[in-house]
């Protein structure tokens, strides 16, 4: 499930910025290269899924607003072929910190349909075996 779309990237960062970042042809076409944007969004989805997989059942039923913001910050960073400006870098760093906090359970996703992944067991199970050395079988040694 995609966490962000190219339309949302355009809405957040503007068409001009996406043209500048994605139009890598020689000569430039002056339009957004949909394949470059789609690749950045797919990479972003993979990064987010990697952090969520240990804690949440994937795919999510809907994209929580918090994940949309993180996805946009990561995708625009991934679109930069060279060093981005400090604001983009700071937003990316904060998004990655937030994903770490989500994966560790410090931050919970507040959306309907987002449930923690089912655990493989219901708790700790201990099995005690018969003791090898007990007062009964060590009679004469103790």
Say what the pTM is.
Answer: 0.76
Helices (H), the chain: 6-13, 15-22, 34-52, 65-79, 86-104
In the DSSP assignment, the letter for residue 116 is B
Domain ranges of the chain: 6-104
User: Along the 142 residues of the chain, how does pLDDT read in single tens digits?
Assistant: 689 999 999 999 999 999 999 998 888 888 999 999 999 999 999 999 999 988 888 888 888 889 999 999 999 999 999 999 999 999 999 999 999 999 988 988 875 455 555 555 566 767 777 777 777 778 776 5
């Amino acid at each position: 499930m995609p966490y962000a779309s190219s339309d949302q990237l355009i809405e957040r960062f503007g068409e001009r910025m996406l043209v500048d970042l994605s139009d890598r042809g020689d000569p430039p076409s002056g339009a957004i290269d949909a394949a470059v944007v789609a690749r950045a969004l797919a990479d972003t989805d993979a990064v987010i899924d990697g952090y969520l997989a240990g804690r949440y059942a994937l795919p999510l039923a809907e994209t929580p607003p918090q994940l949309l913001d993180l996805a946009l910050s990561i995708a625009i960073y991934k679109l930069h072929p060279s060093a981005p400006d400090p604001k983009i870098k700071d937003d990316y760093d904060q998004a990655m910190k937030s994903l770490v906090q989500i994966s560790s359970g410090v931050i919970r996703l507040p959306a309907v349909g987002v449930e923690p992944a089912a655990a493989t067991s219901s708790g700790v199970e201990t099995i005690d075996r018969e003791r090898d050395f007990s007062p009964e079988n060590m009679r004469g040694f103790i």
